[in-house]
A and B are shown apart, each in its own frame.
Chain A
Amino acid sequence: MKGKELKSEAFLNETGAISRFTGWFFHEFLRPRFELREFLRQCFLVGYKSLPLIGLTGFIMGLVLTMQLRPTLVAYGVEARLPDMVSLSIIREIGPVITALIFAGKIGSSIGAELGSMRVTEQIDAMEVSGTNPYKYLVVTRVLATTLMLPILTILSDAIGLYGGFLGINIRGVMSLDLYINEVLNTVVFSDVVPATIKTFFFGFAVGIIGCYKGYNSKKGTEGVGRSANSAVVLSSLLIFIIDLVVVQITDLLGLN
């Protein structure tokens, strides 16, 4: 019983601390002096460097999804609906969530580890002493970069995934690329794309802010750095699912489904 109380207290403390950290983000973000160079550098690192991994997983996701869906559709005699099924699943749900999870694994952990080791080796203090606001220089730039880059990566991943789906269809059947694209464009409508894209901004924000929070508050020692990286991935992955759940509820209520 006592242990349970302690756990829930720790949970509430952590939630409070993360909320304050997020509030601090908006406070610093709105104050003048924007670290443009560091922001662009982070966009490059965060976006460009995770492109191959995200492209590859997107491709496999589309291909495998198609191959798995086909038998079921064939059983119901609606094989022709395969492009619709694949494109809707990828664009509305699987694309954004898988991309965000891969992103959390790659970028969230690296931000957690990087800031963690900077904290432990006093580099963050050194910045402060050098007249640089380390929160602005390190956190604001990274969070903005993840928030803006994940949606772009998701769109790319969706596109590659759809291409994977096209190849998947052509393993067992025959369909021209023109026809496939046509089918996809006829199926997917505005109200599928917009909520799916909006949520990726939140996913990106969550990955950035949690990675930074864990790294920035890292405990002394190399063990602390490892733990920061690890818990950054766990917590941001969890948050991705929670945000997904909330967004689905909202779009449902708004009648966008």
Chain B
Amino acid sequence: MTAVQDIINQPNETAVKNAVLEIKHLDKAFGGNVVLNDFNLVVNKDENVVVLGRSGSGKSVLIKCIIGLLKPDSGSISVLGEDVLAMGHDELDHIRMRIGFLFQSNALYDSMTVRENLEFPMRRHIKHMNAEEVNERVNEMLENVGLAHTIDMMPSELSGGMQKRIALARTLILKPEIILYDEPTSGLDPITGREISSLMVELQEKYHTSSIIISHDMNCVKAVADKVVALIDGKAYATGTYEELKRSTDERIKHFFE
């Protein structure tokens, strides 16, 4: 009897153990505008979770809550086993080292060169690194995204796709365990979008990261997703693999795949 129960419980147990990010009953409203309403999500180790949702459905708000840029009204967020919402400033800084965040608008510092952009998170977070190690890391990341020659350029001299790659390099520079991508391929032509998607997959395999990816771009979703979550009415309306959701008969899910 107990043996049988053990077997039944096992997959569940391991799933819980491997969760790197758990969001429970998350609520967030701006005044009367309810954006997230009892949102739940689990991300496991080495898993790429895609969040689908229409424009304005609260996808950016969701990942900003995870990184602590916005404070949810209620609910809990635990990242790598720690409760983000209960953290003080220093602890939050510490956990942020282990989370990469790719902004929807890239958010490259336009008064700094590419090199300075990449050095910025390192200088702040890792104090024991010497100049040579910093330099090495910068070069490694630029080579990862294939833009080593841009190191002394200003962001304004780069094309949109190149800026996205630099932003990606900056996101990865601290070798985070979890990466939050906010629309990594939006505003890019399909070919560049595909390049960015395969770059994401490549880097994910190289550094063994887990990630949440926000995207409208079905090519990207198909390429990267292990699990897809549809964010509708502030809830995780449907969850499944890309194929499962594609086969869904629900009208609101079907819309995404048209």
Q: Which A residues have a C-beta under 8 Å from some C-beta of B? A: 114, 117-118, 121-123, 125-132
Contacts and interface: CB of A to CB of B under 8 A. Distances in A.
Contacts of B104: 122
Contact of B103 (A117, A118, A126): A126
B241 interface: no
Contacts of A131: 93, 96-97, 121, 124-125
Nearest to B60: A122
Nearest to A114: B111
Given A129-B67, A131-B93, A131-B96, A121 B124 contact: no
Given A129-B99, A129-B101, A131-B121, 15 more contacts: A114-B111, A117-B110, A118-B109, A121-B105, A122-B105, A123-B107, A123-B108, A127-B109, A128-B69, A130-B125, A131-B93, A131-B96, A131-B125, A132-B120, A132-B124
Contacts of B106: 121
Interface in B13-57: none
A117 B107 CA distance: 10
B107 A125 contact: yes
Nearest to A41: B111
The 7 closest A-B pairs by CB, nearest first: A126-B107, A130-B121, A131-B124, A122-B107, A131-B93, A131-B125, A122-B103
Nearest to A129: B101
Interface string B65-105: 00101000000000000000000000001001101010111
Most buried by B among A122, A123, A129: A129
B112 to A, nearest CB: 10
Nearest to A130: B121
A132 B125 CA distance: 9
A123 B109 contact: yes
Contact of B124 (A114, A122, A123, A130): A130
Given A131-B93, A131-B96, A131-B97, A125 B103 contact: yes
Contact of A126 (B93, B109, B111, B125): B109
A122 B121 CA distance: 15
A126 B118 CA distance: 12
Nearest to A117: B110
Nearest to B104: A122
Most chain-B Cβ atoms within 10 A of its Cβ — which of A114, A125, A126, A132?
A: A126
Contacts of A128: 69
